[in-house]
């Protein structure tokens, strides 16, 4: 109980810190820091999606960049057609642009995740990892050779899409939108983990044969979790494209999948606020050390090595003093 209370307090501190830093930046007139906090929130959202598959279901997907990129291209392509006035951009008038784009991004990401999951979940271990990676690389090379939407040069979003009641061109308001969506995703993760579905998913992760013996369908439960995971990551991709006003094949690169896994490992696999803390560490290292050297990943790698060797529950586990949930 002491450890659980300590982790609850730590989670609250992490969430409040993510809100407090850009609030300070707003009062100090530092819009760049607000944009960094928005990027942290969106990367954390993408990692929350992966944490459902990896942290709860034990599915080590090395291809979640595929759904991140699908979301990004949904935002870029629909915004492109809305800007040019073509009929493809149905429903993108007024301030409902983001709502339509998010719905399309989540639906398409979920559909692709269902197909990928149906095929890859027939395997396990290294084979599962390589199949998910292969699908992501297929998406990467497809967008790389897609000249209609920029190919390797990517696709710019000239005017940021709008959300009802929000001026998305203002950094603070865009942060509040991303922060709100992240909070909803964290609530969804917590509800899934505490539900019977989450208990079944974690039971399958620990012993799929025993779970099947008591009437739980490992394939069906894991596929459902994988689809939900892909949908959340796809939503994050759409939001990231709007933040940067640009989408490119790099969103589907294997390095993006690796970053999401690193984020979760740094925070703590399966932990509620691990994506938030992990994303903050990643963006912080990139910003601080990236200004000194182009090899900033070296220092992040040393921290990651230390976490893997000495803090198997991630930074949150190291502070809270528990190995993890489930």
Q: Which residues contact 145 (CB under 8 A, 6 or more apart)?
A: 151
Do 162 and 78 contact (CB within 8 A), yes or no? no
pLDDT in tens, 50-67: 999 999 999 999 999 999
DSSP state of 219: H
Distance CA 52, CA 326 (A): 13
Q: Which residues contact 279 (CB under 8 A, 6 or more apart)?
A: 40, 41, 43, 44, 47, 263
3-state secondary structure at position 292: coil
The maximal CA–CA distance of the chain, rounded, in angstroms, is: 60
**Would you state the pLDDT for residue 326?**
38
List, for the chain, all residue ranges whose pLDDT scores fall below the cut of 50.
324-326
Distance CA 301, CA 285 (A): 10
Token couple for 255: 């390095």
Q: How large is the C-alpha radius of gyration of the chain?
A: 19
**Would you state the pLDDT for residue 91?**
55
Kindly write down the DSSP assignment for every residue of 220-257, as one continuous string: HHHHHHHHHHHHHHHHHHHHHHHHHTEE-GGGGSHHHH
209: exposed, middle or buried (Cβ count in 10 Å: 0-12, 13-18, 19+): exposed
Q: Which residues contact 12 (CB under 8 A, 6 or more apart)?
A: none
**Would you state the pLDDT for residue 92?**
64
Do 85 and 250 contact (CB within 8 A), yes or no? no
Distance CA 234, CA 101 (A): 11
Q: Which residues contact 325 (CB under 8 A, 6 or more apart)?
A: 193, 202, 270, 271
**Would you state the pLDDT for residue 170?**
95
Distance CA 237, CA 48 (A): 13
**Would you state the pLDDT for residue 89?**
52
Distance CA 325, CA 271 (A): 7
pTM for the model: 0.94
Token couple for 159: 């005017």
pLDDT in tens, 244-266: 999 999 999 999 999 999 999 99
| Short-list 35, 18, 65, CA closest to 259 | 65
């Amino acid at each position: 109980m002491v450890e659980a209370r300590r982790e609850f307090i730590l989670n609250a501190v992490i969430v409040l810190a993510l809100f407090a830093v850009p609030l300070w930046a707003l009062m100090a007139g530092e819009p760049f820091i607000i944009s960094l906090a928005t990027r942290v929130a969106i990367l954390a959202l993408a990692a929350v999606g992966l944490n459902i598959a990896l942290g709860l279901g034990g599915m080590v997907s090395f291809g979640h960049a595929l759904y991140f990129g699908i979301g990004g291209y949904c935002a870029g392509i629909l915004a492109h057609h809305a800007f040019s006035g073509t009929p493809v951009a149905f429903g993108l008038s007024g301030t409902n642009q983001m709502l339509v784009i998010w719905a399309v991004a989540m639906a398409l990401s979920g559909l692709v995740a269902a197909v990928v999951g149906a095929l890859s979940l027939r395997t396990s271990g290294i084979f599962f990892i390589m199949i998910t990676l292969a699908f992501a690389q297929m998406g990467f090379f497809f967008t790389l050779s897609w000249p209609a939407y920029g190919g390797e040069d990517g696709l710019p979003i000239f005017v940021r899409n709008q959300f009802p009641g929000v001026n998305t061109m203002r950094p603070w308001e865009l942060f509040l939108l991303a922060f709100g969506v992240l909070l909803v995703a964290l609530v969804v993760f917590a509800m899934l983990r505490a539900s019977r579905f989450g208990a079944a998913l974690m039971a399958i992760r620990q012993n799929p044969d025993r779970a099947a013996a008591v009437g739980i369908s490992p394939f069906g439960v894991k596929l459902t979790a994988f689809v939900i995971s892909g949908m959340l990551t796809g939503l994050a991709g759409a939001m990231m494209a709007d933040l940067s006003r640009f989408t490119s094949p790099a969103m589907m690169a294997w390095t993006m999948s690796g970053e999401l896994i690193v984020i979760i490992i740094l925070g703590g696999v399966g932990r509620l606020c691990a994506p938030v803390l992990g994303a903050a560490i990643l963006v912080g290292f990139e910003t601080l050390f990236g200004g000194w050297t182009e090899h900033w990943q070296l220092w992040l790698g040393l921290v990651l090595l230390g976490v893997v060797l000495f803090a198997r529950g991630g930074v949150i586990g190291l502070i809270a003093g528990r190995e993890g949930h489930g």
